Structure 1
Amino acid sequence: MKSDAKADMKSDAKDNSKNSDMKSDKKSDKDKKTVVVTTSFLQDMTEQIAGDTVNIELIIPAGEDPHLYTAKPEDNKKLQSADLVLYHGLHFEGKMVEALEKLGTAVSKNFPKDKIGQMDEDGEMVVDPHFWFDIDLYKLAVEEACDALSGLNPEQKEMYEKNRDSYIKELTELDSYIKENIEKIPADRRYLITPHDAFNYFSRAYSVTVKAPQGVSTESEVSNQDIQETIDFIVEHKIKAVFAESTTDPARMEKLREGAAAKGQDVKIVGKEGEQDEQLFSDSLAPKGQPGDTYIDMYKHNVDLIVKYLK
């Protein structure tokens, strides 16, 4: 009996110790600085650099379209109470630009001007915000985020810079992976058709011709002329597959399929309704816990999909 009592006391002590640790962890979480990020890309980037040394709060949920997202009252509260706000810039968070410019740090703020894409949007030249498909620009964004986080937590600067360097090395390896796999597609088949113009940085970086009926923003108008031009392009180049995106309605691609079929060209819609696992990621990563929930996994998913259907 005494032996059992001793065991019980030890067990209780262990449980009390565990509870004490949990309280301690909870308190330390409370003491951490809060970093508010606009997108899943920046959530992942911050995690890669800062790990669990900060609390990260996301504004635009993974899977939602940042071009169309309107800030809610609770989002404004998050922004106002944050210790640091990180956002893309280049007008990507279109409806939140004013608030973000006052309160946040744009990870794109030091990009060389000649590396930033310009595109025609409804007859007007606009900045292309989809810089993350250029890995060299993404590395610059990582460096900017690291500097901002180091300013927030100077005592963690050395660790953050070590994590940054390790992550940039992984991004260099990712670049090699993409180049090697794109080579598997014959040069005369490297045509990527998507719903909106999100892949022009990818196009320039890896010599893949990209065409989309809609402009840079999913808010822009899609004219019958744009649709017809895309159909003609598909038929002219005998393109066999077009790709839906995770943040746009796959039904948009149906007009392209029907128009091409009317001209004798059979086209598969990759990632149509019910095939979400075969949609390209463009403006968001996947929700946490799903394939494509990190930048590197997202990019590999896209490249694997493109190669599978175009080679």
Structure 2
Amino acid sequence: MRKTILFLLLGVLLLTGCGNMGSTKEAVSNANPQPKKKVTVTTSFLYDMVNQLAGDMVDKELIIPAGEDPHLYVAKPEDLKKIAEADLLLFHGLHFEGKMQEVLEKKGYAVASTFPEDKIGKMEEDGAVIVDPHFWFDIDLYKEATENAGAKLSELLPEKKDEIDKNTKAYLEKLSALDEENKKSLAEIPEGGRYLITPHDAFNYFSRRYGIEVVAPQGVSTDSEVANKDIDKTVDFIVEHKVKAIFAESTTDPARMEKLKEACRAKGFDVKVVSGEGNELFSDSLAPKGQSGDTYIDMYKHNVKLITKNLK
């Protein structure tokens, strides 16, 4: 009888000990959680996109700081470290990150890689046909890029797939609502005044989507030279069509637009330059975090409001 009682007590102690060990392991696991997967992106657009879809499920690294010109950006040693350590590397593609393209293609995924050929903008520059990388101004293409990014994030985090899919669906609905809002706002501009003059050719997808003619003295890349003949051609267009306002961009030198204004004045026509903090169009970058225009949706709303206000 005494032996039976001893065996029963030993069994209880072992079960209790195992239970305590399990609790201890759980406590240790909670105290030292597994590190999050690292997602490195090239631009502020993609940083915002990943944030909308995955939030704090991942650690995010940005290569090209908000407000800088991706056409001209040259990778730094710390950027190469971000790329090497990334569990997932996302970039635009279409040669937008021109000086980094080769490095990115070796490890990364271009969110524009699935775009149909007939939807990708092309234009002639310096006698050659080049691809227009500014696809984010076509909301349908941006939605496709978002779905591509969502699929890659789900592959990276299969256990979070349902949540990422849910976030992707909700964000796509917001983008569709933004598109309708844009159409309604831009319709306020009279037919004869729908001309958008900007420093470089970043708004051609915008032009095709909303029926607003875009003219710029510089080509698709800010790395290209601005020829005098292109400046003269732009000035003639402004004067001929009596364009009410021309717009500076957040990532280009506003002095370019002032020169256009002076050239127009020399021909007897005054045009307003829309520039200065809070009054510049976002083209190749979102605003720095915490400022107006620091998300894709806020950026687009800012641009449409600025254009509509000054052209209607």
Partner residue in 2 for 1:277: 278
C-alpha RMSD of matched pairs (Å): 1.3
Partner of 1:101: 105
Q: Which position in structure 1 is the counterpart of 2:23?
A: none
Q: TM-score, normalised by structure 1?
A: 0.90
Q: After the TM superposition, which residues 1-311 of structure 1 pair with which residues of structure 2 at under 5 Å, given as runs?
A: 27-28=32-33, 31-271=35-275, 275-311=276-312
1:119 CA drift (Å): 1.1
* Superposed displacement of residue 24, structure 1: 6.0
Kindly state the Cα deviation for residue 237 of structure 1 after the two structures are TM-superposed. 0.2
For the pair shown, which has the larger CA radius of gyration, 1 or 2? 2
How far the C-alpha of 1:121 sits from its partner, in A, is: 1.7
Structure 1 moving runs of 4+ over 3 Å = none
Counterpart Cα distance in 1 of 2:167 and 2:127? 43
1:11 corresponds to: none
Contact 1:121–1:220 (8 Å) recurs in 2: no
Distance 2:212 2:30 in 1: 52
Identical-residue share of aligned pairs (%): 66
Residues 53 and 226 of structure 1: is their aligned pair in 2 closer, same or farther, counting only changes over 3 Å?
Answer: same
Separation in 2 of the partners of 1:248 and 1:123?
24
Contact (CA 8 Å) 1:119, 1:128: kept in 2 or not?
yes
2:309 and 2:186 map into 1 onto residues whose CA distance is 10
Deviations 1:87-119 (A, max 9, x none): 000000000000100010000000011000001
Please report how far the alpha carbon of residue 221 of structure 1 lies from its aligned counterpart in structure 2 after TM superposition. Answer: 1.0
Partner Cα distance (2:74, 2:125) in 1: 21
Structure-1 separation of matches of 2:95 and 2:126: 16
- Tell me if structure 2 keeps the 8 A contact 1:40–1:284: yes
SS at match of 1:276: coil
SS in structure 2 of the partner of residue 265 of structure 1: coil
One-letter amino acid of the structure 2 residue matched with residue 172 of structure 1? S
**For the Cα contact (< 8 Å) 1:241–1:268, is it kept in 2?**
yes
Residue type at the aligned position of 1:99? V
- Which runs of no fewer than 5 residues in structure 1 stay unpaired? 1-20
Q: SS at the partner of 2:206? A: helix
- Distance (whole Å) between structure 1 residues aligned to residue 51 and residue 127 of structure 2: 39
Mapped to 1, the partners of 2:246 and 2:75 lie a distance apart of 32
Instruction: For residues 200-238 of structure 1, give each alpha carbon's deviation from its aligned partner in whole angstroms, at most 9, with x where no partner exists.
Output: 000000000000000000001100000000000000000
SS where residue 123 of structure 2 aligns? strand
Distance in 1 between residues matched to 2:63 and 2:102, nearest whole Å = 15
Alpha-carbon distance change, 305 to 24 in structure 1, aligned in 2, over 3 angstroms: farther
How many residues align? The count is: 285
Identify unmatched segments of 5+ residues in structure 2: 1-26
Q: Match for 1:82: what amino acid?
A: A
Relative to the length of structure 2, the TM-score reads 0.90
Q: For 1:171, give the aligned amino acid.
A: L
Aligned counterparts of 2:99 and 2:112: Cα–Cα separation in 1: 18
Q: What letter corresponds to residue 295 of structure 1 in structure 2?
A: Y
CA contact (8 A) 1:63 1:287 kept: yes
Matches of 1:44 and 1:250, distance apart in 2: 26
One-letter code aligned to 1:128: D
